[in-house]
Every structure is written in C-alpha cells, then in structure tokens.
Structure 1
Amino acid sequence: MLVVSRFRVPASDASAFRSDMEVAHAALAERPGYLDGTLGRNVDDPELWVLSTRWENVGAYRRALSAYDVKLHAVPLLSRAIDEPSAYEVAEPGTDLNVASARALG
C-alpha cells in the first residue's frame, strides 16, 4: 500500500516544515507494517512537498494513525496536506486490483 501526501508550503516556512515532516516521518516509520518512505520537494514548484510511505497493507497504515506518537507528531502535519485522496494500492505486474465500487461501512 502506498500513501502519498502532498503539501503546499510557503517558502518562508520551508525550513520549519521540513523539520516537522522529518519528525512525522520518523514517528510513522516506527509503526508495525511500515516498509519505507521518502520526503521530497518538487523541482519545478519548490512550495510543493510530498511525504510518500509504503505499508504492508491498509490496516497497518490505519492502525499507525491511531498510535499516540503518530497522533502527537504526524497527524498535525498530515492535517495540512492538500485535500485529495492519498492511499493507493500498488499496481505491480500480475496483481489483482481492488474492484472499483463503493465500500460498505459495516
């Protein structure tokens, strides 16, 4: 599972934001099911940042979000992300993808 969170950050806040993003990433990286992650800044638009993480499955990511350290260090940063879908299934050759349909809530 891939999570891509993009952020629009004014240049004047870039240094503080980068530090906050490193702390948030470290908190996420400590959680079970985390595989790897990357922080980045867009080369054409330096106010656009990304935090990309990979997880064993969607459940591991969702459980990570409820951990105390993540709520303390990552959720405040993630709440600043651009409002767009961020969770993706990895489409590797030969894998079946989820069926595109509404999901039941209960």
Structure 2
Amino acid sequence: MIALLQFRPDDDAEEFQAERFQAEAEQALRLLAERPGFVRGSLGRATDDAGSWLLLTEWESVGAYRRGLGGYQVKLRATPLLSQALDQPSAYEQLLRIEPGGQETARASDRAADADWGSRLAGN
C-alpha cells in the first residue's frame, strides 16, 4: 500500500519556514519508518515549485499503515504535520509493481464492491 501526502506550506514562506517544514517532515518520516509494516519512504520537493512537497511511504498492508499512524510517538510528534497535508485521496493499494530488470508483481484489488458508497451518496 502506498501513502502519498502532498503539502503546500504557506506559499509566501520564507526559506527559514521551508527549512523548518523540511525538518518536521523528516522527523515524521523517521517516526513512521520505526513502525512495523513500514517498507520505505521518501520526502521530496517539487523541482519547479519550491512550495510543493511530497511525503511518500510504502507499507506492507492497509492495516500496517493504519497501525503505523496510530503509534504513540507518531500521534504525538508527526500527526500535527501530517494533518496539514492537502485534502485529497492519499492511500492507494498497489496493484502492479515493476522492479528493475522487469520483475513484475501484480495483485488483485482488496477493495470491497461497495467501498465508494459514501462518496456516491454525497454526489462525488
């Protein structure tokens, strides 16, 4: 499972604020990396838009991701930053992975047939 969080700290942020955001995001990523089920993660900044940031993590499963977010240190020290992510879908099941050399791993979706019922009712 992949979690992709996008951030846009204050667009008018001074470089000091960007450095502070980066430090907080790095700390959040390190805390998440300590959680069981964490596979890998990275923090990135857009090359053509210095105000756009991305925190990408990969987890063994949706359950591992949810449990990872529920850890005490994550709640205490990372959730304040994670809650600033842009309001958009952020958790994705991984259906196909291709490794260097062409090794492919495919899997069927675990989503329930009625997984979108709430958003369909809301007209989304």
Within the alignment, does 1:34 sit opposite 2:38 as a pair?
yes
Match of 1:97 in 2: 109
2:120 counterpart residue number = none
The CA deviation string for residues 68-106 of structure 1, in whole angstroms up to 9 with x for no partner, is: 0000121111100000010001121542124574338xx
The code of the aligned residue for 1:27 comes to: L
* Structure 2 residue runs without a partner (length 5+): 97-103, 118-124
Q: How many angstroms apart in 2 are the aligned matches of 1:62 and 1:82?
A: 18
Percent identity over the alignment is 47
| Number of the residue aligned with 1:50 | 54
Tell me how far apart the structure 1 counterparts of residues 107 and 92 of structure 2 sit (CA, whole Å): 14
SS of equivalent to 2:87: coil
Q: Which amino acid aligns with 2:29?
A: H
Is 1:74 matched with 2:72? no
State TM-score, norm by structure 1.
Answer: 0.90
- Secondary structure class of the residue paired with 1:85: coil
Q: CA RMSD in A?
A: 1.7
Matched pairs, number: 104
State the AA in 1 paired with 2:39.
L
Hey, what's the Cα distance between the residues in 2 that align with 1:14 and 1:101? 42
Letter in 2 for 1:88: Y
Q: Give the TM-score normalised by the residue count of structure 2.
A: 0.77
Distance 1:3 1:90 in 2: 10
SS in 2 for 1:74: helix
Q: CA deviation at 1:9?
A: 1.6
After TM superposition, what 4+ stretches of structure 1 lie above 6 angstroms from structure 2?
Answer: none
